[in-house]
Amino acid sequence: MNAEETDQRLCRIHQTTLQPPLNNAHNISRTGGAFTPEPALAPVPGLWDDESWFEPLEAPSRNPSGSDGGRDLVMGEELELLRMSLDQLTAHFRALQIVVERARDSLERTSR
């Protein structure tokens, strides 16, 4: 799975987990005027500033003499690819957070 597919999958997961239920009150609030994001859906400031949520995985030791040496090598390579993907996703999330903050600032300026 490449980074673009991962981004698309995360977007789908994000949309399905944060999408509010569609009911009359929700629809009325959206048609009455300018769109205002609901507080629960607004990004949390500094969410990605602290990386304490992330614990790097250790690659298994390479033991060429053991019967699982080839499998350990493959797993180590897979872990390295996952680590690189996580680094890329973290960068994407930081960039997305900046875009969202700028959009929010722009909306606040235009609503004044």
Domain boundaries, the chain: 3-7+20-111
Q: Are 74 and 81 in contact (CB under 8 A)?
A: no
3-state helix, strand, coil in the chain (%, to 5): 65, 0, 35
C-alpha–C-alpha distance, residues 112 and 110, integer Å = 6
42 residue type, one letter? A
pLDDT on residue 26: 46
Q: Are 76 and 59 in contact (CB under 8 A)?
A: yes
pTM over 0.85: no
105 residue type, one letter? D
Residue 38 banded pLDDT, cuts 50, 70, 90:
low
Give mean pLDDT, residues 52-62: 57
| Whole-number average pLDDT of the chain | 70
pLDDT on residue 7: 73
C-alpha–C-alpha distance, residues 80 and 56, integer Å = 10
Position 101 pLDDT exceeds 90: yes
